[in-house]
Structure formats: C-alpha cells, structure tokens
Amino acid sequence: MNSTQVGTRIRKAKEVLGSSLVILGHHYQKDKVIQFADFRGDSLKLARDAASCREARYIVFCGVHFMAETAAILAQPGQTVLIPDQEAGCPLAEMANVDDVERAWAELGQVMDVEHEVMPVTYVNSSAALKAFCGRHGGLVCTSSNAQAVLTWALAWRPRVLFFPDQHLGRNTAKKMGIPLAEMLLWNPSRPFGGHEAGDLERAQIFLWRGFCNVHQRFHPEDVTAWREREPPTSTSVGIRVIVHPECPMEVVDLADEAGSTAYIIRRVEESPPGSKWAIGTEFNLVNRLAEEHADKFIVSLSPQPSYCRTMNLITVEKLARVLEGLARGEIINPVTVPPDVARDARTALERMLEVS
Ligand code: SF4
C-alpha cells in the first residue's frame, strides 16, 4: 500500500473519531508521521499538551514509550493513551532501572542522610517507576528545556543531586551553573558505591548516572572544527553557527556556539535571518525538516553520518493507521498503562517539574 493510501486511511479514521482523538508527535518523528500530529513538540511541550487534552478520550502518542507513559501519568480519568508501536523504547531511558537506583540510594544512605542531603532528579527520558521514585523522595523530573531551573530548585532544597539517567545533560547543565567538574561524580551502577570509595562521595555535589543517548553521543568535537573550517566567517557572513542538544558530550557542547533543547534549536533557526548557516547536533529527522522548511538558510547535520534514532523511527504511518482504525471500530490497540500507585508518585514528580518551570 502506498503512502497516499495510508494517508487516506488515517484521515478517514481521524474524521470518524473527531474530537475524541488527539495525536501528539515528537520532533524526532519522520515527516510522514508528524504531519498527522495535532500537537508537535519536545518532551516538555508534549507533557504540557498531554495534561491539557481534557476533552480527548484517546491520546495517540507518536514518540517513544516513556513519552506515552508520561502522557498516561498526566491523563485524566477515562482517557486512554496508545502508542503505534510498543517496541519503540528509548535506549537512554533503559540505562537506569528502579532496582539499581534504589540500590544507589541505599548506598548513599550509608554515607549521608539522603532524605535531607540528596535530591533525586530524573530526566523525563526514564520509566514511570523512576519518576515515581523521585516523587516518593521529594524529587522531580526535568527535560532538556528546564534542566537548569530544576537543578537550581533542587540545590536550593538539598545540597546534592542524584541525576539520572543521562550523564551528559546533567554534566552540561551543572557546568553551565558553575559547578566544578571535581564536584560531579559519575555513578557506575554496576559497581558498589558507583565505583567510588565511600569516603569520596561526600565531596560530590552532583552524582551523574552513567547513561547516555547513543544518537547524541555520535557527535564529536572534530565535527565542530570540520564545519568551522569548511564554512568560515567572511566579510559578508559570520560563518556557520554550531548548535547542539545538551545530550551531546561536554566536549561538543563546550565547542558549540549554542546548546539547547529541540524547542530552543527550532526557535533559534526560525529567528535567524535568511542566509544563516547552521550545523545542528541532534536527531536527523529534525535537522532534515528544518532544512526543508528553511530553504533560504544553509542547514546541515553536525555529523557527516545522519544520526537517526532507531526507536523513534519504529513509528510508521502504517502502524499509526492500524491503531487509529482500531479505535474507530472500538478496539484499543497498544494501550500504554501505568499502575495507579506508580502513576500517583510519578505525577507528584511531574507536577513539581511543571510548577518549577
Ligand atoms: S534520541 Fe536518544 S534520548 Fe531521544 S528517544 Fe532516541 S535514544 Fe532516546
């Protein structure tokens, strides 16, 4: 079946479902998919959109599993969240599980008064169980848009933060806030006390979980220098500007001209004058879309190899059509549910975030 036929099926199902349906789409989705989203955005915007979709009975999330879970946590009673492919997980989110985090908490508890000295902060790219852990222990969630505001809040309440699962977002944000690298300890969950001497833990202000996004870790400092050499400033142009996502390694963020969430990257490109040149360090579907939407600007991926997120790309129009047609005939395909007690504590952590940012 060609894409026009699949598009017709989706449009028909949307028509049947009317206002009972809302489709949310993350910026990293393919053009073919995101064209059907009623709301598109980054994790923070979509979390807010999910919370505000009070009329819709069905929320179909075109993104990865933790995003749909977040929508399910924030959903109103009677709303159902669905994902076109249950296999679309986030490898970064899977790098921290609740058992390992509970163990880290207990180990820190042997050395300090964790409930008063350590604030747990989870990146939104994490399971509902981890968000619930934060909710239970006075902590909260952050996204790449609000990580600095969240860390500032966390450190105003407790002197240390346990940040998981993305070490790069934690390190880049803390560094921007002026926290010395010597006060950040990388926590290796497969080693006792994260791989440190128990006595060393007290010198840390930030414990950084050893997780990373394999899409953003593919950008290197050499990519930045290569583009600067290729597109240097001239008498009529400032040359290429490098803008990257804070999930990139610190060495890349330090060399870049700017770093920010996908929403920030999009805004900066949109606001720039015609003729601007950008090398962008984030997922390739977004870079490609920006290049197509801004043909009057020179927009390229920072990496010579397109950096796709494999699991985001598991969402296809065919799978979206199947889920929507199921709904149109009263069948729920691929619901995303969170146990009520986990949802309650996770919602506490998410609501703290929404209040802070
Ligand atoms: S781009 Fe990275 S963080 Fe985002 S969904 Fe893919 S693996 Fe996860």
Q: pLDDT tens, position by position, for the chain (357 residues)?
A: 777 899 999 999 999 999 999 999 999 999 999 999 999 998 778 878 877 888 899 999 999 999 999 999 999 999 999 999 999 999 999 999 999 999 999 999 999 999 999 999 999 999 999 999 999 999 999 999 999 999 999 999 999 999 999 999 999 999 999 999 999 999 999 999 999 998 899 999 999 999 999 999 999 999 999 999 999 999 888 999 999 999 999 999 999 999 999 999 999 999 999 999 999 999 999 999 999 999 999 999 999 998 999 999 999 999 999 999 999 999 999 999 999 999 999 999 999 998 998
Identify the pLDDT of residue 50.
78
Q: Burial code of 298-330, b = ≥16 C-beta within 10 A, e = fewer?
A: ebbbbbeeebbbebbbbbbbebbbbbbbebbee
Q: Record the tokens describing residue 122, joined without a space.
A: 């989870």
Distance 44 CA to ligand 1 centre (A): 14
Residue 14 is predicted with a pLDDT of 97
pLDDT at 228: 98
**Are 61 and 89 a contacting pair, CB within 8 Å?**
no
Alpha helices, DSSP H, located in 181-242: 221-230
Q: How far is the CA of 227 from the centre of ligand 1 (A)?
A: 24
Query: Best mutation site among 61, 66, 168, 312 for ligand 1, i.e. most ligand atoms within 8 A of its Cβ?
Result: 312
Q: What are the angstrom distances between the C-alpha of 284 and each of 30, 42, 287, 288, 314?
A: 9, 15, 5, 6, 15
Say what the pTM is.
0.95
Q: Which atom of ligand 1 is nearest to the CA of 282?
A: 1
Cα angle 89, 94, 98 (rounded to 5 degrees) comes to: 130
Q: Is 128 in the pocket of ligand 1 (CB under 6 A)?
A: no
Q: Residue 21: phi, psi to the nearest 5?
A: -120, 140
Ligand 1 neighbour 286 (Cβ under 6 A): no
Q: Which atom of ligand 1 is nearest to the CA of 310?
A: 6
Dihedral, CA atoms, 97, 312, 340, 144, nearest 10 degrees?
A: 70
Beta bridge partners of 26: 41
The response to whether residue 89 sits with its C-beta less than 6 Å from ligand 1 reads no
What pLDDT, on a 0 to 100 scale, did the predictor assign at position 45?
87
CA of 186 to the centre of ligand 1 (A): 20
Task: Tell me the C-alpha to C-alpha distance, in Å, between residue 23 and each of 40, 221, 357.
Answer: 9, 37, 24
Q: How far, in Å, CA of 95 to CA of 123, rounded?
A: 12
**Exposed, middle or buried by CB within 10 Å (0-12, 13-18, 19+), for 48?**
middle
For residues 349 and 131, the answer to whether their CB atoms sit within 8 Å is: yes
C-alpha to C-alpha distance for 200 and 74, rounded to whole angstroms: 39
Q: Measured from the CB, is residue 262 less than 6 Å from ligand 1?
A: no
Nearest CA to ligand 1 atom 3: 213
Tokens matching residue 267: 């805004």
Radius of gyration of the chain (CA): 21
Residue 29, CA distances (Å) to 25, 149, 269, 304 in order: 7, 27, 19, 20
DSSP for residue 166: B
Contact, 315 vs 334, CB < 8 A?
Answer: no
- Could you tell me where the DSSP H helices lie in the chain? 3-17, 31-34, 43-52, 65-74, 98-111, 114-117, 128-136, 147-157, 167-176, 221-230, 250-255, 262-271, 284-293, 317-328, 340-356
Sequence length of the chain is 357
